[in-house]
Amino acid sequence: MEKVKQEKFKKLLEDELKLLENELNSVGRKNPDNPKDWEAEPDEEMTTTPDPIDYADEIEEFEGNTAILKELEVRYNEVKKALEKMRDGSYGICNVCGKKIPEARLEANPAATTCLEHVKS
């Protein structure tokens, strides 16, 4: 891949990574024991509010955050992986068959790690 093009994708990935990190921080926190793992952060009021109805709401919110967090985390790790591949020079190459990933596919998803034929379903 041309350097200029790779730089463009790199910028896109870095921007997305920052964005994802912000979102992850707003719904959760990094697991101190495993920096690759994020966990939903319970609202502080959750432990202090005496009202059982409020408490149920908080639990619901916490569960919602956990679901959002999971999706964000998957995407976050994909983007990170793509940036790692850029560093070791294997960016834009299909994980399965080793062929070049079409640029149109990378335009649509700069974090793609497989060609269209080998997209995980």
Nearest to 82 by CA among 35, 13, 8, 1: 13
Of 24 and 111, CB closest to Zn ion: 111
CB of 98 to Zn ion, least distance (A): 7
DSSP output for 25-55: HHHEEEETTEEEEEEEPPPTHHHH---HHHH
Helix (H) or strand (E) holding 82, with range, is: helix 52-88
Residue ranges binding Zn ion (CB under 5 A): 94, 96-97, 115, 117-118
CB of 100 to Zn ion, least distance (A): 9
CB of 119 to Zn ion, least distance (A): 9
Of 5 and 118, CB closest to Zn ion: 118
Of 86 and 94, CB closest to Zn ion: 94
Of 76 and 91, CB closest to Zn ion: 91
CB of 114 to Zn ion, least distance (A): 5
Q: Which amino acid is at 8?
A: K
Residue 14's Cβ-count burial label (10 Å; 0-12, 13-18, 19+) is: middle
